[in-house]
Chain A
Amino acid sequence: MTVMFTRQQFDEACREFIHAHQSISSAYEARLSGWSWKEHHTLPGFGYMHRIVTLNWRHPASADTFLEIDDSLDVVDDGTTASHDSPDSLTCHQYVVLSATFRVPAFYFSIHGSSGSPLQLTDIMQTSLLREDVCEGTVATTFAVSHPAMNFPLLSQGEHPTLGTPCWYFHPCETASTVEEILKESEENSRRPLSWMEAWFTVLSTAVDMQ
């Protein structure tokens, strides 16, 4: 029942997506733009999407949240203001690759300081890439970020399938069913690959600040 991409379908879906989101008409549109299609330098069938984003360090949640509906609200402040000795200018390479195992898109990324050295996981958690509410309650080791309630890690370390460089990625085992949920609810009944990609980015936005 769930959609699985063939290599060809993935390639087409990505190209369509890149094309559809080239122009930036609003701040919202900017979140989905800036991607380009890349191929392996010699082998066909290993293409992926790529874009570069500049990140900031995340600041702790401000305390001026006020609430009208009944309940008093506990301000979300995970207190992770640990100091970091990494530079301010952060470059994030983002990739959308086809997961060979699950036949769905997977989000890979790596973050570097201005000197070119990759960020440690604990520093990555402090950047503006990941949504604060998703990081809440997670535990980070040097190789993975997990939430105690989850049986799979949120973030794992792995090799980029085409480039072979070390990256962090979101495990795609639940991707298909979550995206299908969105598509089913969506009034637009077309199951075009583009709709699937856009729904996938919607789900991705629960964990990643697409900026």
Chain B
Amino acid sequence: MASGSPDDSGRQAALPWTPDVSESATEALQALDTYKKKDPSKVVVRFKAVGNAPIMRQNFYKITASNRFQAVIQFLRKELGWKAGDPLFTYINLAFSPAPDDTVSNLYKSFATEGHLIVNYSTTAAWGLTTLTIRRRRTQNAVQDQINGR
């Protein structure tokens, strides 16, 4: 009958939306928070151009390790001014091409050398001629013709 009295446990229990404040629930929530927290540690990535790929002014960058490699690819495209359709291939240590959803952290732990992760990048389309390739070849041929005095 007393409203606002401190001991309302009887009334509280009747309410279906009362939050469960049992111990295991609190622990579970804390565990979830830890999992969600992104590891803020950063690692150094070193970009190296391959073939005719444009060379950037700055080649060393720091990135949060918990990022997926997709973030590195997107960043590289932006820095080079390369649109989504333009061919861009990335390699780790010239050994393999990482999947976009590999984490930078895992790649760094497995393949970093001398404190940085080497990311080679190429703009040569490996799987067919693009108009870019044809244009480049025409230019090369024209230059060669000039040299040969044609």
On A, residues with C-beta under 8 Å from B are 26, 28, 31, 61-62, 65-71, 73, 76, 131-134, 137, 146-154, 170-171, 173-175, 177-178, 181-182, 184-186, 198-199, 201-203, 205-207, 209-210
Assess whether B96 is in contact with A174, with CB atoms less than 8 Å apart. no
Beyond known contacts A31-B96, A66-B66: 5 more, CB 8 A cutoff: A28-B96, A70-B75, A149-B131, A174-B128, A185-B94
Closest to A209 in B: B99
Which residues of the other chain, B, contact A148 by a CB distance below 8 angstroms? Answer: 85
Assess whether A152 is in contact with B128, with CB atoms less than 8 Å apart. yes
Which residues of the other chain, B, contact A199 by a CB distance below 8 angstroms? Answer: 94
Q: CA–CA, A33 to B31, complex, Å?
A: 40
Given contacts A174-B126, A186-B94, contact A181 B50 (CB under 8 A): yes
Which residues of the other chain, B, contact A134 by a CB distance below 8 angstroms? Answer: 127
* Count, chain B residues at interface, CB 8 A: 42
Asked if B138 CB lies within 8 Å of chain A CBs, one says no
Assess whether B74 is in contact with A181, with CB atoms less than 8 Å apart. no
Q: CA–CA, A60 to B101, complex, Å?
A: 12
Assess whether B124 is in contact with A185, with CB atoms less than 8 Å apart. no
Interface positions of B from 96 to 138, Cβ below 8 Å from A: 96-97, 99-101, 110, 120, 122, 124-131, 133-134
In the assembled complex, the CB of B116 is this many whole angstroms from the nearest CB of chain A, namely 15
Given contacts A68-B63, A202-B95, A206-B97, contact A149 B130 (CB under 8 A): yes
Given contacts A202-B94, A205-B97, A206-B97, contact A185 B127 (CB under 8 A): no
Q: CA–CA, A170 to B125, complex, Å?
A: 12
From B70, B85, B96, A137 is in contact (CB under 8 Å) with B85
Q: CA–CA, A61 to B30, complex, Å?
A: 28
Which residues of the other chain, B, contact A175 by a CB distance below 8 angstroms? Answer: 126
Assess whether B70 is in contact with A154, with CB atoms less than 8 Å apart. no
Closest to B71 in A: A67
Given contacts A202-B94, A202-B95, A209-B99, contact A173 B63 (CB under 8 A): no
From B63, B78, B94, B131, A151 is in contact (CB under 8 Å) with B131
* 10 interchain residue pairs of minimum CB distance: A152-B128, A181-B51, A150-B128, A68-B64, A206-B97, A178-B126, A205-B97, A67-B71, A151-B129, A205-B96
Listed by A's residue number, 12 A-B pairs whose Cβ atoms lie within 8 Å are A28-B95, A28-B96, A65-B101, A67-B71, A70-B75, A71-B75, A151-B134, A154-B127, A178-B122, A199-B94, A205-B96, A207-B127
